[in-house]
C-alpha cells in the first residue's frame, strides 16, 4: 500500500493556469498582429483609393478643361486648334462622346460632311446620344440623305424623352427640351403635340421662352407659305391644299397619297389649319370662311363688299384665337377678329402688302412707302419703323426677316426682328422666296424665273426646274408652285427637283 504523502495529483493547477495565461497572451498578441495588418490594409486601401480619386479628378479636370478649350476654339472659328483639342480629349478617354461631337461640329462648320458622318457613327457605336443623333441629322440634311435623316429623328425623339425623364440639372433640361421641340417640328408633329411639349417644358424649367413659343407655334400656316398665297399647309398626317384642277377647291390628302377628300366647292386661298378647323379666303370675293377638317360646318366669318384687285397681298393668318387679315373694305389695312368672327378690330391705319404675326408683334410692309418694313403690337400699340428699304413679300424665320430688296435689284437681305442688324444674304436676284430648314427656295429673275434652291449661307445653289415658278409653298419634301400669277395650275416637285406632278 502506498503511503498517503506519496500520492501526486494528476493535474498541476498552477502550471495549468500558467499555461493558460501564456496561451491567452499569445492569442492576444496574434489578434493584435491581425488587427495591425488589417489596419495597414485599410490604410493602404484608403491611400490607393485616394490616389485613384485624385488621379481620376485630375483626369476629369484635364478633360473638362480641354473640352472647354476646344469649344472656345470652335466658337472663335479656330477649327484646326479645335480639332487638336478634341483629339487630345479622345487620347485621354476614348469614350468621351462630347469630344466626338465637338469634332463633328467643326467638320459641319467647314462643310466636311463625310468626315463628320464618320466621327458621329463612331460616337454612336460607343453610346446612344440625342445630341450625336441631331448632329448626324444635320449632316444627312446637308447631304440630302432624307430617308436616313427622318429615320434618325424618330430614334432621337425617343432618346431625348428618356434623357428628360432622368435629368434633374435645370440647364441640361432646358437644352434637352430645346432639342426635342426641334425634333417635333422637324417630324411635322401637329401643333397640339408641340404646344403640349412646350407646356411641359415651361412647367419643368419655368423658362418664359417656352410660354412665348407656345403662342408663336399656334399658327395656321408658315410665313413662307402665307406670303405665297397659302396654297397648302399641313397638320399631322394630312396635307390641305388648293386643287387648281377643280376650280381651286379645298382638298385634303394623307402624306402617303391616300384618302383624298374634297372639303368645299369654292376658290380657296390663304389656307390655315388649327385643331379641327380650316380657315381660308374666297379667291373670288375675298370673304373669310372656316370649315371643319372633315368638310362640315362651313361658316362665313367676314364678308368684304369692296374688292381691290391689284398685285398686293390680301392675306389671312390664324394665330391662336385670332384671325389677322387685310381688310378689303378698308384699303387692306390690317384687322383682327376672333376665330368665331367676333371682336373685329382695326390694328393699322396703313395699307399693308405683307404681314406676319410672331408673339405679340405684327411685322408688315407699308405698301405706300415702297414696302418699308414696320412692326406694331397685336393690340395696335407701339407702331415702330424698322427700315425704309423695300421689303415686299418677306419671310419671317427664326427671329430674322428675309426679303428681296428693291433698291438692290431684288437681292436677298435679312434683318433681325428687333431691327438692330441687317445684312446681305445672296447676290442672286430673287422674286418669290420661301425659306425652310436653312434652304432658300426662289425663282431666279436672271434665269427666266425658274425655280432654284440655295443654302442660307449662299452655297449649294441648285436649279430645280425649267419653267416660271411663282407662289412657292413648301411642305415636307415637296415644293408647290404655280406657273403664273393667277394660280391657274399648281404643280409640285420634290426638293431635289425630281418627280414633277400636277396637283389634283
The Cα 253–Cα 438 span in angstroms is: 27
Among 55-64, 429-438, 485-494, the least confident range: 55-64
3 state SS of 430: strand
Percentage of the chain with pLDDT > 90?
Answer: 26
pLDDT at 7 over 50: no
pLDDT at 192 over 50: yes
The reported pLDDT for the residue numbered 243 is: 92
Rounded to 10 deg, the angle between the 79-92 and 13-75 helix axes is 160
- In terms of C-beta distances under 8 Å and separation of at least 24 residues, what long-range contacts does 421-430 make, across chains too? 422/387, 425/456, 425/458, 426/454, 426/458, 427/458, 428/452, 428/454, 428/461, 429/404, 430/404
Among 23-27, 154-158, 264-268, 479-483, the least confident range: 23-27
Among 17-31, 379-393, 435-449, the least confident range: 17-31
> Averaged over 7-14, what is the pLDDT?
53
Pair 389, 376: CB distance under 8 Å: no
The reported pLDDT for the residue numbered 372 is: 83
> Averaged over 400-407, what is the pLDDT?
85
Q: In the structure grid, which three cell numbers stand for residue 338, read together?
A: 376672333
Neighbours of 129 (CB within 10 A): 21
The Cα 161–Cα 130 span in angstroms is: 9
H-run or E-run covering 210:
helix 208-217
Cα distances (Å, whole numbers) of residue 150 to 51, 188, 279, 354, 476: 48, 11, 30, 33, 11
320/306: higher pLDDT: 320
Sequence-distant (6+) residues with CB within 8 A of 407 are 389, 390
pLDDT at 285 over 80: yes
Pair 348, 334: CB distance under 8 Å: yes
Pair 445, 456: CB distance under 8 Å: no
pLDDT at 87 over 60: yes
Taking only the tens place, the pLDDT of each residue in 426-471 is 888 888 899 988 899 999 999 999 999 998 888 899 999 999 999 9
The reported pLDDT for the residue numbered 289 is: 95
> Averaged over 133-143, what is the pLDDT?
85
Are β-strands 422-436 and 268-274 bridged in parallel, bridged antiparallel, or unpaired? unpaired
H-run or E-run covering 141:
helix 130-142
The Cα 148–Cα 137 span in angstroms is: 8
**Length of the chain in residues, anyone?**
504
CA proximity to 429, closest of 416, 415, 448, 456: 448
SS3 content of the chain, % helix, strand, coil (to 5): 40, 30, 30
414/58: higher pLDDT: 414
- In terms of C-beta distances under 8 Å and separation of at least 24 residues, what long-range contacts does 414-420 make, across chains too? 415/373, 415/386, 415/387, 415/391, 417/358, 417/361, 417/363, 419/373, 419/375, 419/384, 419/386, 419/387
Phi, psi of 88 (to 5 degrees): -60, -40
323/17: higher pLDDT: 323
Structural domains in the chain?
Answer: 61-217 (1.25.40.10), 223-502 (2.120.10.30)
The Cα 429–Cα 409 span in angstroms is: 7
pLDDT at 4 over 50: no
Cα distances (Å, whole numbers) of residue 59 to 83, 103, 490: 19, 20, 62
pLDDT at 2 over 50: no
The reported pLDDT for the residue numbered 138 is: 85
| DSSP 8-state symbol, 69 | H
The reported pLDDT for the residue numbered 298 is: 95
**Mean pLDDT score across all residues of the chain:** 83
Phi, psi of 249 (to 5 degrees): -65, 160
Among 1-5, 51-55, 325-329, 450-454, the least confident range: 1-5
Rounded to 10 deg, the angle between the 97-109 and 13-75 helix axes is 10
88/344: higher pLDDT: 344
pLDDT at 310 over 60: no
The reported pLDDT for the residue numbered 297 is: 94
> Averaged over 276-299, what is the pLDDT?
92
> Averaged over 232-257, what is the pLDDT?
90
pLDDT at 494 over 90: yes
The distance of Cα 340 from the centroid of its chain, to the nearest Å, equals 31
pLDDT at 495 over 70: yes
> Averaged over 417-423, what is the pLDDT?
84
The reported pLDDT for the residue numbered 34 is: 75
Taking only the tens place, the pLDDT of each residue in 160-177 is 888 888 888 888 888 888
Taking only the tens place, the pLDDT of each residue in 361-379 is 899 988 777 678 889 999 9
Pair 473, 224: CB distance under 8 Å: yes
The reported pLDDT for the residue numbered 31 is: 67
The reported pLDDT for the residue numbered 308 is: 52
3 state SS of 212: helix
Give the best-scoring range by mean pLDDT among 61-65, 370-374, 496-500: 496-500
The reported pLDDT for the residue numbered 81 is: 86
pLDDT confidence band for 336 (50 / 70 / 90): very high
Amino acid at each position: 500500500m502506498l503511503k498517503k504523502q506519496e500520492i501526486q495529483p494528476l493535474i498541476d493547477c498552477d502550471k495549468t493556469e500558467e499555461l493558460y495565461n501564456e496561451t491567452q497572451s499569445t492569442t492576444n498578441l496574434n489578434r493584435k498582429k491581425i488587427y495591425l495588418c488589417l489596419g495597414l490594409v485599410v490604410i493602404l486601401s484608403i491611400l490607393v483609393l485616394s490616389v485613384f480619386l485624385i488621379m481620376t479628378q485630375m483626369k476629369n479636370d484635364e478633360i473638362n478643361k480641354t473640352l472647354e478649350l476646344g469649344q472656345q476654339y470652335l466658337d472663335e472659328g479656330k477649327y484646326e486648334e479645335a480639332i487638336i483639342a478634341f483629339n487630345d480629349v479622345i487620347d485621354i478617354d476614348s469614350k468621351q462622346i462630347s469630344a466626338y461631337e465637338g469634332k463633328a461640329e467643326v467638320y459641319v462648320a467647314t462643310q466636311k460632311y463625310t468626315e463628320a458622318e464618320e466621327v458621329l457613327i463612331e460616337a454612336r457605336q460607343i453610346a446612344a446620344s440625342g445630341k450625336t443623333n441631331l448632329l448626324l441629322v444635320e449632316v444627312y440634311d446637308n447631304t440630302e440623305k432624307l430617308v436616313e435623316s427622318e429615320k434618325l429623328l424618330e430614334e432621337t425623339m425617343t432618346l431625348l424623352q428618356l434623357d428628360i425623364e432622368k435629368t434633374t440639372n435645370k440647364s441640361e433640361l432646358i437644352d434637352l427640351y430645346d432639342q426635342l421641340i426641334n425634333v417635333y417640328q422637324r417630324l411635322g408633329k401637329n401643333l397640339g403635340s408641340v404646344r403640349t411639349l412646350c407646356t411641359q417644358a415651361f412647367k419643368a424649367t419655368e423658362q418664359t421662352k417656352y410660354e412665348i413659343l407656345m403662342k408663336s407655334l399656334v399658327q395656321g400656316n408658315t410665313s413662307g407659305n402665307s406670303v405665297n398665297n397659302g396654297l397648302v399647309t399641313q397638320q399631322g398626317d394630312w396635307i390641305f391644299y388648293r386643287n387648281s384642277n377643280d376650280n381651286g377647291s379645298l382638298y385634303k390628302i394623307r402624306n402617303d397619297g391616300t384618302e383624298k377628300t374634297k372639303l368645299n366647292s369654292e376658290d380657296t386661298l390663304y389656307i390655315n389649319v388649327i385643331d379641327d378647323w380650316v380657315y381660308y379666303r374666297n379667291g373670288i370675293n375675298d370673304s373669310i370662311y372656316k370649315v371643319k377638317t372633315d368638310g362640315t360646318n362651313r361658316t362665313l366669318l367676314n364678308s368684304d363688299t369692296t374688292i381691290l384687285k391689284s398685285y398686293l397681298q390680301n392675306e389671312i393668318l390664324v394665330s391662336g384665337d385670332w384671325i389677322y387679315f387685310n381688310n378689303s373694305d378698308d384699303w387692306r389695312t390690317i384687322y383682327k377678329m376672333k376665330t368665331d368672327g367676333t371682336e373685329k378690330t382695326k390694328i393699322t391705319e396703313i395699307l399693308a402688302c405683307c404681314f406676319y404675326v410672331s408673339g405679340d408683334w405684327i411685322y408688315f410692309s407699308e405698301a405706300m412707302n415702297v414696302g418699308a418694313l414696320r412692326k406694331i403690337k397685336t393690340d395696335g400699340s407701339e407702331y415702330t419703323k424698322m427700315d425704309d428699304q423695300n421689303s415686299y413679300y418677306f419671310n419671317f424665320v427664326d427671329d430674322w426677316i428675309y426679303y428681296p430688296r428693291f433698291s438692290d435689284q431684288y437681292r436677298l437681305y435679312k434683318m433681325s426682328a428687333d431691327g438692330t442688324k441687317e445684312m446681305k444674304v445672296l447676290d442672286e436676284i430673287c422674286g418669290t422666296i420661301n425659306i425652310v430648314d436653312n434652304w432658300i427656295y426662289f425663282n431666279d429673275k436672271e434665269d427666266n424665273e425658274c425655280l432654284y434652291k440655295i443654302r442660307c449661307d449662299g452655297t449649294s445653289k441648285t436649279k430645280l426646274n425649267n419653267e416660271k415658278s411663282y407662289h412657292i409653298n413648301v411642305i415636307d419634301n415637296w415644293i408647290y408652285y404655280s406657273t403664273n400669277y393667277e394660280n391657274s395650275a399648281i404643280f409640285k416637285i420634290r426638293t431635289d427637283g425630281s418627280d414633277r406632278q400636277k396637283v389634283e
